[in-house]
Amino acid sequence: MNPVRLTWARTVVQLLKCRSTAVLIGVFMSVGAAVLAFELEAFEGERVSLPVLWALGLSPLLPVLSAFLAMDVWSEERRSGRIDLLLASAVRERDFVIGKFLGVWTVLVFSVVLQLAASMAALWCHVPRVFSDLMAVGFVPALLVLFLQGALWCAVASAASVFSKQPAVSLCVSLTALVVVPRGIWAAMTAWSHEARSVFGEMPIDAHAFDFASGAFSTGVLCMYTAAVVTVLFITSKCVSALRLSGRGAWRLRLSGMSAVVLSVVFSSLAVLLALRLDLRFNLPVGTMRNTFSERTKRILSECDGEISITSYMPRSDQSFRSVGHFLRSLRRESESLGGARLVLRFVDPRWDVAAAQRLVRRGVRENSIIFEKGRRMASVPLKDGFGERLCASALQRVAAPPIRRNIYWTVGHGESSCDDYGTFGMSDIARDLAREGYINRKLDFAAGVGVPGDCALLVVAGAKDDFSRLEMGIVESYLRRGGRLLVLASAAERGGVASMLPAWGMRSMEVSLQGARTLTGGDVIVSDFAEHELSASLRGSRIVLGKPVAFAPSAVADAGGGTGKIDFVPVASVDGTAVAAAVERGAGLGSDIAVSPARIVAVGDAGFVMNGMLSACANANRDFLLNCVAYLSGSGVYGTGGDDAGILAAGMDRETRTKFLIAASLAAPVLVFLSFLVFSSGRRRSE
């Protein structure tokens, strides 16, 4: 009979018949469920799946469980003297070592599966909505990574058990080796240097749990764990063999044993290095989420064609690097399956890929962004709060959509900022961005006696210092009454241009002095309060910076004459309740003919916010805001709105539900397990 199998079976039975094991598994289940409850609250609204969350919560508990399970696996044999019986048998030490390791590992696997079943059953009863998009097979990678890590912890804990006859000492050694040293070093490193976390990234153990549970398999990491387990088992068998070498004359054997151990460590390290060097990464479609992406995203992906380059511009050590990488790979896979565009992924680390990073910076891309490029068109999505599928799909749509050939007319002759002025106060940068989007920038000089051309998709009055003449006002009024679109970038210093015309269109500028408490000079105002409007919804979580902006308010003297509906005033961006950017629309209204094109005006309280000088600061979403304004006004459709992110954790647990879940998963289930153990062991005793 195979001694490995016999030893394995003996170890499993020995562990499972022990009441302390029942208590241990119960505590493990309880703590695991509590951690899951905490994480469900902490990660609410994040793009993270339930299996990943569960694996991340359980991963740090496994070393502790392993240490307790394996604490007396060898030390008890030594203490009782049974080790002599074992060593005098015609069995190789390695067979005992493997058998005992497999026994401990089996109990660990059993505990993990039990914990999963209990937690998910409790979750199913109390928060069934988290399972709406989930398939059972989604837990397989999470289980695999936990089993893999558990194998290493069990091997190390078993090895620690050889060194002492006292289980308590073995436990202390195991806990030190598995928990205190790695976690302690990590905590000390991150506490000592604030930069350490960003330099070294996440703790590798947690990173592996996240990656594997997300379906991102790496052959290098697999080899590393396997090599580590094999090496530890080899060292353990050498340590057991060394128990025979108590005599002075065995020094040669001790020396050869130590040499074998050193060589095994060296060879396994080399094997791991080679495996990591030749690392193959598979992003397996493990079906973590049945609907990884929303219908809107799928539609956009299926409509895209050609080749689209997606660049992740962020440090690899960033905490969100893995989740972003996983998300982008999922996006690529989804696009392939839908027959959409070929997505080419690139990862640029600003610290290492200096040349590529420099190219991106030259193009005005900020660090921690995702850049979508197709031909000359580019869209970047900042990795801030709210990053996710919705924004990326919009960016994809923006770069993949057919070029827009719409004319934008910039008025001149009233001291406006010019779209071809390359100076600090010029607007050449934003004009270039608009041209990249497919718009055609043209100048319109009313002094030449021309009206607004018929092909005008948008009229821009950018920081006019002088008032428009009555005739010019009439031309603009007439244009708007025909369903025209007007973008007013107000100049705070000289309130000229079309300001006097705006009250008739439902908005008026106000004499409000806004001071920014969050900027160095106090002159700039940081705006982060955006309305749920088509042109500003995608900016939520972003910031725009305005310099001493003009405020806007609804006008009581709105003149709807000549229009076909009522005027809607929307404060799209506000500071402490004061609108610094507003949109008005006089359109068909509800129930009217939808073919009627509504007139739209968007006014922003500062013309300088998209001047070259401000944009070069690259620290705000001003560019995106203006592009949104232009797209909204010109009828191109604003990207980044509509639809919901799929794959977002939405447990929505309130206090009562959480308490019920905790009672079920942390108390009831472990107690049930403990009672089952008692019944099992007492049943065996009776049969004896």
Partner 1 sequence: MLEVRNLSFSYDKRRILKDVSFSVAGGERVCLVGANGAGKTTLLRVMATLAVPDGGSVLLDGQDAFARPLRYRRRLGYLPERFALYEDMRVKDFLAYRAGLKGEPPKRIRRRISEAAQMCMLDDALRSPIRGLSAGEKKRVALADALLLRPRLLLLDDFLAGLDCAMRKVAGEILANAAAFSSVVATGHEIDDFAGWASRFLVLRDGVIADSISAGDPEEGDVGGRVREALAEGGR
Instruction: Output the smallest distance, CB 13 to partner 1, in A.
Output: 8
Taking contact as CB under 8 A, which single stretch among the options 77-85, 169-177, 360-368, 597-605 is the one that binds partner 1?
Answer: 77-85
Least separation, in Å, of the C-beta of 3 and partner 1? Answer: 5
- Asked if 679 touches partner 1 (CB under 8 A), the answer is no
Q: Which stretch binds partner 1 (CB under 8 A): 26-34, 89-97, 255-263, 578-586?
A: 89-97
Nearest to 107 by CA among 151, 61, 60, 58: 151
Number of other residues whose CB lies within 10 A of the CB of residue 277: 8
Query: Which CB atom, from 7 or from 30, has the smaller least distance to partner 1?
Result: 7
Looking at residues 240 to 279 of the shown chain, list those that interact with partner 1 (rule: CB under 8 A). Answer: 244-250, 253
Considering only the stretches 2-10, 170-178, 294-302, 445-453, report the one whose residues sit in contact with partner 1 under the rule CB under 8 A.
2-10
Asked whether the beta carbons of 160 and 170 are under 8 A apart, the reply is yes
Q: Whose CA is closest to 381, among 347, 324, 372?
A: 372
User: What is the DSSP secondary-structure string of 313-329?
Assistant: ES-TTSTTHHHHHHHHH
Footprint of partner 1 on 419-448 (CB under 8 A): none
What does DSSP say about strands 599-604 and 551-554: parallel, antiparallel, or unpaired? unpaired
Question: CB of residue 95 vs partner 1: minimum separation in angstroms?
Answer: 9
Residue 292 parent element (H or E) = none
Query: DSSP secondary structure string, 182-232?
Result: HHHHHHHHHHH-TTHHHHH-S-HHHHHHHHHHTTEEEHHHHHHHHHHHHHH
Q: Considering the rule CB under 8 A, would residue 1 count as an interface residue with partner 1?
A: yes
Question: Which of the ranges 88-96, 153-161, 286-294, 412-420 carries the binding residues for partner 1, by CB under 8 A?
Answer: 88-96
Q: Per CB under 8 A, which region of 10-18, 63-71, 510-518, 617-625 contacts partner 1?
A: 10-18
Which uninterrupted H or E stretch holds 312?
strand 307-313
Q: Which lies closer to partner 1 via its Cβ, residue 252 or residue 655? A: 252
Q: Helices 93-126 & 655-662, crossing angle to 10 degrees?
A: 140
State the Cα–Cα distance between residues 168 and 635, nearest whole angstrom.
73
Token pair listed for 592:
């009217």
Q: Side-chain half-sphere of 162: how many Cα atoms within 13 Å? A: 24
Which of 17, 94, 316, 384 binds partner 1 (CB under 8 A)? It is 17
CA distance 574 to 551: 9
In terms of CB distance, is 254 or 660 closer to partner 1?
254
Among 34, 44, 92, 578, binds partner 1 (CB under 8 A): 92
Q: Is 357 in the site for partner 1 (CB under 8 A)?
A: no
Closest CA to 96 of 85, 81, 112: 85
Strands 216-218 and 281-283: antiparallel
Could you give the dihedral angle defined by the CA atoms of residues 501, 502, 504 and 505, in that order, rounded to the nearest 10 degrees?
A: 130
CA distances from 124 to 396, 657, 660 (A): 36, 12, 12
Q: Could you say which of 576, 593, 654, 688 contacts partner 1 (CB under 8 A)?
A: 688
Distance (Å, whole) CA 366 – CA 437: 19
Report in angstroms how near the CB of residue 14 gets to partner 1 at its nearest: 7
Q: What is the nearest approach in angstroms of partner 1 to the Cβ of residue 246?
A: 6
Structure tokens at 597: 């094109």
Q: What is the distance between the alpha carbons of residues 438 and 374, in angstroms, rounded to a whole number?
A: 13
- The least CB distance from residue 258 to partner 1, in Å, is 15
Helices (H) and strands (E) in the chain, counts: 24, 18
Could you say which of 23, 27, 34, 87 contacts partner 1 (CB under 8 A)? 87
For the CB of residue 29, give the shortest distance to partner 1 in the complex, in Å: 24
Q: How many residues bind partner 1 (CB under 8 A)?
A: 29
Contact range with partner 1 by CB under 8 A, out of 85-93, 123-131, 133-141, 611-619: 85-93
Of the pair 13, 280, the CB lying nearest partner 1 is at 13
* Min dist. Cβ of residue 686 to partner 1 (A): 11
Least distance from partner 1 to the Cβ atom of residue 197, Å? 48
What x/- string results for residues 458 through 487 when contact with partner 1 is judged by CB under 8 A?
------------------------------
If the CB atoms of residues 9 and 261 are measured against partner 1, the closer one turns out to be 9
Beta bridge partners of 497: 467
Pick between residue 8 and residue 446 the one whose CB is nearest to partner 1.
8
Selected binder of partner 1 within 20, 80, 519, 682 (CB under 8 A): 80
Binding residues for partner 1, rule: CB under 8 A, are: 1, 3, 6-7, 10, 14, 17, 80-82, 84-92, 244-250, 253, 685, 688
